[in-house]
Amino acid sequence: MRTSKRLRTTGAIALTVAALTLAAACGDDDDAGDDTGPADDTAVVEPTDAGPGTTGSAGTTAGTGTAPAGDGEYVIGVSNTLAGNGWREEMICAVKAQSLASGSVSRVVSISKNGGPTDQIQDLQNLISEGVNAIIVNPSDREQLNPVIEEAIAQGIVVVAVDQAVTAEGAYVATNDQVEYGRLGAEWLAGQIGGEGRVLYMRGIDGVPADADRHQGFTEVMEGYPDIEIKEVFTGWDFTKGGDIAVQELTAGDYDGIWTSGIDYTVVNAFETVGKDPVPVVGADNNAFIGQLLDGKPGAAVTNPAVIGGVGTAIALEALSGESPEQTTLLTPQVWDAESSTADLEANYFEDRDDTFSSAVSVEGYTSYTPEQLFACKGPGE
Amino acid sequence: MTTVEPTVPGSYDGFATSLPTPTSRWSRLARRQGWTAGVAALLAVLLVWRVSQLPKFGAFEIRTITAGTMTLALLAMAQGVIVISGGIDLSVGSMMVFGNCLSALWMPDRGLAGCLLVAVAVIAITAALATLIGAIITASGVPDIIVTLAASFVLAGMALWVLDAPRSGVSADFQRLVAGRLDNPWPSVLWIGGVLLVLWLPLRRSRLGLAIYALGSDRKAAFLSGVQIAWTRVLAYTAGGVFSGCAGVALTASTGGGGPLASTGTTATLNSVAAVVLGGVALTGGIGGLVGPVLAALCLTLIPAIMLGLGWDPSNAETARGVIIILVVAVAGLLQLRRTRPS
């Protein structure tokens, strides 16, 4: 009696488990069907070149992604290891939007979750197993991913590292020029304050490559201005913390200008908190900051486009179509201030977007989607 | 009526405790290995499912699963042996990261032999540190969950101190020996199996192994049976340290370097607990083995991959993974409850 009961017990466990997973499996077969349906539709659009039709700018891809008709149907994989971060999410949306706009992609498979190089190696291997044609990766390490990236390339997959570089041979790299980011903002600020005075220098996180690069650019410029006194602080790229530091610093003393590593709009708000007149603030292309500049607050936005993901996609599609894009693409930031680039500021302010939305929504010569396609954040077939 | 020899069990109703009914070989096997068999069945289902998703399933795809599981499997063993002894260790992940950083510091520019020597040294160091943690728990009387949580922060700090930035450049021979080429699943399979056979099996069968199980089942009873409670507790942590060290070295081999990222350790610790629970080790101690957690680790690696194949958002996949763990453990717990209820 007991024996059979125990056997039954263990059998039941196994069965429950099996049933559970099978149930989940069946439930998702339908989804898979849905996925392929619309995907085929977009594929049909592409060869007919119905540009102004359903897919918007599919026909006007600015020379990129014009895959020869017939062998379209690419699957693009995305790997990101910082989830829940607005900038990174926008980066992924740009991959989806560019894939949709190009008309030559059937599906975007995205793996976006928190982790380090180990997790990302696993993610990349899973993408390779999925049979993707190209991988857009925001690498968590310069070197540790190389073996798996090289394996992907050996299997004929196009790999584009965006935002940060990898050293793997054969991988395309598309990054924003962070040294230039530091330099351009510093030059603008030095000019605004007439080459003398006190500057609050609000950096990001010590030891992070992007911070080190920006510091290099900033320092090179400031060496030419011995009359500028610099007070250095670290914000940890945290908007709340940056705002708090600004309040403390502005309460304690006066500054002629503030350079921030992208923690901008909370710093502008700090002037109001302490009741002082705002001085020029250098920030990034955060939506709220663009709004403040349009509002007449002194300052300049240095772009650090999150849509680098779209640039990477354009490069990947170009490589897939048999052309040979540049191995390394370094995007030079733009500087927007209210005096000389009001049009840019107006074109890149989106009232219904979040404060920290990266407002530089397109990169000339690479991206071809509309802002609406980016905001929708839907890839082909979704 | 009063002087009948108690040859027939149960004939003495109400007078003395009856002898237990001898159980059959089958029921013992079912009781001991039932859960493991269940996890193996789950793994089989997941595997078939994954294979059906992929355009091709060859050596590369197999290695993706096995090598991708290797560190978690080893870490699950570390957590498993400690949980069996009635404890818990929230520092296994940080210990792994520490071992990873230490080996990434010493291994570059060394040949295969040098790397192996470093690996042994690193495992010895993590074992020593884990012993220290075990000793602190036993001597201080502070609950293990608190000591190991604190230790996880200390170890994360030590990892940063060893290596302030990611570092690579570990000998390719060593990488291939442990993790295998990208199309060779065998090394990872053999290392997981080898550690189970060479380290765990003898330990389980030894006097210490028996003491670890006894300690986990019932500390007082173990004490009354002459088990050296303090020593056994400390040595269980030592064994955990050996496995964590192996996981750290395996991590170095699979990435070709190391990085002091604290979140890697935290995630790994939580995954190790998940694998242990799913693998049939009772958190109350004394029940289960290490084969179950290893199979569970394979399942935990497969689930996100399957979700990816289904086109699920990875954050939903994480939720699904959690739900599966809760369901499996809850269902099993209910069955266990039914089993222990007097019939």
Q: Place A13 in a pLDDT band, splitting at 50, 70 and 90.
A: very low
Cβ atoms of residues A187 and A221 within 8 Å: yes
Q: Could you identify the residue written with the tokens 């010895």?
A: B124
Q: What does the pLDDT read at residue A72? A: 55
Q: Is B27 within 8 Å of A28 when comparing Cβ atoms? A: no
A255 phi, psi to nearest 5 deg: -125, 155
Residue type, B195: V
Domain CATH for A186: 3.40.50.2300
**What is the CA B165 to chain-centroid distance, rounded?**
28
**What are the backbone angles phi and psi of residue B176, rounded to the nearest 5°?**
-70, -35
Q: Which residues of B touch A12 (CB under 8 A)?
A: 335
Q: What is the CA radius of gyration of chain A?
A: 24
Question: Residue written as tokens 């940056």?
Answer: A242
pLDDT of B150 higher than 60: yes
Mean of pLDDT values over A17-23: 43
The proportion of chain B whose per-residue pLDDT surpasses 70, expressed as a percent, equals: 92
Q: Residues A179, A213: contact at Cβ < 8 Å?
A: yes
pLDDT, position B22: 74
Strand runs (DSSP E) across chain B, as ranges? 167-168, 257-258
CA distance A28 to chain B (A): 7
Mean pLDDT computed over A13-32: 41
Could you tell me if A378 lies within 8 Å of chain B, comparing CB atoms?
Answer: no
With respect to residue A343, please indicate whether it lies within any of the assigned structural domains. no
The pTM for the full model equals 0.75
Q: Which residues span the domain enclosing A231? A: 178-302
Closest chain A residue by Cα to residue B256: A144
In angstroms, what separates the C-alpha of B132 from chain A's closest C-alpha? 28
Q: What are the CA-CA distances from residue A234 to residues A200, A204, A261, A347 (Å)?
A: 11, 5, 9, 31
Residue A32 forms contact with B (CB below 8 Å): yes
For range A192-206, the mean pLDDT: 93
Residues of chain B with Cβ-Cβ distance to A109 below 8 Å are 308, 311
Task: Show the CA angle centred on residue B285, arms to residues B229 and B225, nearest 5°.
Answer: 35
pLDDT at A68: 36
Q: Given a cut of 60, is residue A366 above it in pLDDT?
A: yes
The answer to whether residue A59 sits within a structural domain is: no
- Percent of chain A predicted with pLDDT > 90: 62
Please give the average per-residue pLDDT across A349-354, as a whole number. Answer: 89
Residue A268 touches partner B, C-beta closer than 8 Å: no
Judging contacts by C-beta atoms under 8 Å, the chain B residues touching residue A17 are 38-39, 41-42, 45, 328, 331
Note whether residue A253 is domain-resident: yes
Strand partners, A172: A160
pLDDT single digits (tens) B1-25: 455 454 555 445 555 566 777 777 7
Domains of chain B: 57-332 (1.10.3470)
Radius of gyration of chain B (CA): 22
pLDDT one-digit tens code per residue, B219-254: 999 999 999 999 999 999 999 999 999 999 999 998
Average pLDDT, integer, range B126-135: 97
> How does DSSP classify residue B168?
E
How does pLDDT run across A214-270, given as a tens digit for each residue?
Answer: 999 999 999 999 999 999 999 988 899 999 999 999 999 999 999 999 999 999 999
User: In B, which residues are within 8 Å of A113 by CB distance?
Assistant: 314-315, 318
| Cα–Cα distance, B109 to B129 (Å, whole number) | 26
Residues in chain B: 343
User: In whole numbers, what is the pLDDT of chain A averaged over residues?
Assistant: 82
Residues sharing a CB contact under 8 Å with residue B182, sequence separation 6 or more, in sequence order: A125, A147, A148, A151, B60, B63
Number of domains in chain A: 1
User: Is residue B80 predicted with pLDDT exceeding 90?
Assistant: yes
Is A22 close to B45, i.e. CB distance below 8 A? yes
Average pLDDT of span A364-382: 91
What size, in residues, is chain A?
382
Binding-face residues of A in 109-128 toward B, CB within 8 A: 109-119, 121-122, 125-128
Is A117 domain-assigned?
A: no
Mean pLDDT of A3-27: 44
Residue of A nearest to B25 (CA): A3
Q: Does residue A354 or residue B293 have the better pLDDT? A: B293
Contact A144 B256 (CB under 8 A): yes
Chain A residue numbers with beta carbons less than 8 Å from the beta carbon of B324 are: 20-21
Instruction: Check if A207 contacts B (Cβ < 8 Å).
Output: yes
- What is the rounded distance in angstroms from the CA atom of residue A232 to the CA atom of residue A201? 5
- Closest partner residue to B166 among A10, A131, A141, by Cβ? A141
CB-facing half-sphere around the CA of A125: CA atoms within 13 A: 31
* Over residues A115-137, mean pLDDT: 91
| DSSP conformation letters of B304-340 | HHHHHHHT--HHHHHHHHHHHHHHHHHHHHHHHHHHH
pLDDT of residue A4: 46
Question: Do the Cβ atoms of A121 and B309 come within 8 Å?
Answer: no
Question: How far apart are the CA of A44 and the nearest CA of chain B, in angstroms?
Answer: 22
Q: Which of B31, B55, B261 sits opposite A6 (nearest CB)?
A: B31
Q: What is the DSSP letter of B257?
A: E
Query: Residues of A with CB below 8 A from B35's CB?
Result: 10, 13
Contact B54 A6 (CB under 8 A): no
Q: What is the structure's pLDDT at A45?
A: 30
pLDDT of residue A14: 46
Q: Which tens digit of pLDDT belongs to each residue from B252-278? A: 998 888 888 878 898 899 999 999 999
pLDDT beyond 90 at A352: no
Q: Cβ separation of B339 and A151 shorter than 8 Å?
A: no
Strand B257-258 with A197-203, pairing? unpaired
Q: Is the pLDDT assigned to residue A12 strictly greater than 60?
A: no
**Please, what is the average pLDDT of chain B?**
88
pLDDT-based confidence at B216, cuts 50/70/90? very high
- Closest-approach residue (CA) in chain B for A117: B255
CA–CA separation, A368 and A57 (whole Å): 7
Secondary structure (H, E, C), chain A:
CHHHHHHHHHHHHHHHHHHHHHHHHHHHHHHHHHHHHHHHHHHHHHHHCCCCCCCCHHHCCCCCCCCCCCCCCEEEEEEECCCCCHHHHHHHHHHHHHHHHHCCEEEEEEEECCCCHHHHHHHHHHHHHCCCCEEEECCCCCCCCHHHHHHHHHCCCEEEEECCCCCCCCCEEEEECHHHHHHHHHHHHHHHCCCCEEEEEEECCCCCHHHHHHHHHHHHHHCCCCCEEEEEEECCCCHHHHHHHHHHHHHHCCCCEEEECCCCHHHHHHHHHHCCCCCCEEECCEHHHHHHHHCCCCEEEECCCCCHHHHHHHHHHHHHCCCCCCCEEEECCCEEECCCCHHHHHHCCCCCCCCCCECCCCCCCCCCCCHHHHHHCCCCCC
Average pLDDT over residues A28-44: 33
| Residue A39, pLDDT score | 33
Q: What is the mean pLDDT of residues B56-83?
A: 93
Q: Which residues of B touch A115 (CB under 8 A)?
A: 263-264, 267
* CA gap B31, B23 in Å, rounded: 10
**How confident is the model at residue A62, as a pLDDT?**
35
Give the chain B residue nearest A80 (alpha carbons).
B314
Whether residue A298 is contained in a domain is answered as: yes
- Is A291 a member of any domain? yes
Q: Using an 8 Å Cβ cutoff, are A162 and A176 in contact?
A: no
pLDDT at A372: 92
Please answer yes or no on whether A115 and B264 come within 8 Å at the CB atom. Answer: yes
CB-CB contact of B311 with A32 (8 Å): yes
Closest chain B residue by Cα to residue A124 = B64
B164, B168, B261 ranked by CB distance to A116: nearest: B261
Q: Cβ(A259)–Cβ(A218) under 8 Å?
A: yes
Q: Which of residues 166-205 of A touch B (CB under 8 A)?
A: none
Mean pLDDT confidence for B70-83: 96
Per the DSSP assignment, residues forming a β-bridge with A230 are A199
